[in-house]
Amino acid sequence: MNMFLPGRRLLDHIARYVVSAGGIAVIVAILAIFFFIFREVTPLFATRTARLVSRFPLSAIPSSPAPLQIGMDEGKTIAYFLSPDGVRFVDLSTGQTILSDDSTFPLSSRMTTVAQGGVGSSRYVAGTEDGSILPLKMGVATSFSDTGERMRRPLLRMSGSFRISSEPVIALAY
């Protein structure tokens, strides 16, 4: 029985260090979690400020008729304007109109109302004067040139329109 005692003492000694190291690792992990939560919550208590980044006239915004929907992409580089005559995209750094691949989709009649498919959604439906519904999907595609420069361009996709009435659509919910 005495011959196993030195091996047992060695195992007890190793186990003490392993258990201690595990306990310290748990404490460090909990402190790291608290630090992460603190860093995420502190901006909620800071004073909000806004500053003007740039100003330019948006000649691309239709003055008449007024836009039905205005928005911008999540990167805040391209704005869009849905008006009764169609969709326009504007580069926010220059104020110039950008043509998308499908921005000249055929409108059978003028848009009368627009509804977005939820907060932050890129899906819309537009009602027209002739009683049709146009499902639209708008977004921004990112690609890279041969030199590695990032290029962003607007995308506009229209699914098949369908007629729901012979009268103009005046309100939509989506």
Please state the three-class secondary structure of 130-168 as a single string.
CCEEEEEEEEEEEEECCCCCEEEEEEEEECCCEECCCCC
User: Using 50, 70 and 90 to split pLDDT, how confident is the model at 41?
Assistant: very high
For the stretch 10-30, pLDDT in tens is: 888 899 999 999 999 999 999
Tokens 């506009």, located at residue: 156
Query: Can you tell me the mean pLDDT for 123-143?
Result: 86
pLDDT digits (tens, 9 = 90+) for 65-89: 667 788 888 778 888 888 887 788 8
* 104-110-115 Cα angle (round to 5): 90
CA dist 120 → 71, 74, 88, 112, 116 (Å): 10, 9, 19, 22, 9
Confidence check: pLDDT of 104 > 70: no
Largest CA distance in the chain: 100
Closest among 136, 131, 102 to 116, alpha carbons compared: 136
Average pLDDT value for residue range 118-134:
84
> What would the mean pLDDT of 114-132 be, rounded to a whole number?
84
**Least confident span in 20-29, 40-49, 132-141:** 132-141
In this predicted structure, the answer to whether residue 172 has a pLDDT above a threshold of 60 is yes
68 CB-near residues (< 8 Å, 6+ apart): 82, 83, 84, 111, 112, 113, 114, 126
Q: Are 90 and 148 in contact (CB under 8 A)?
A: no
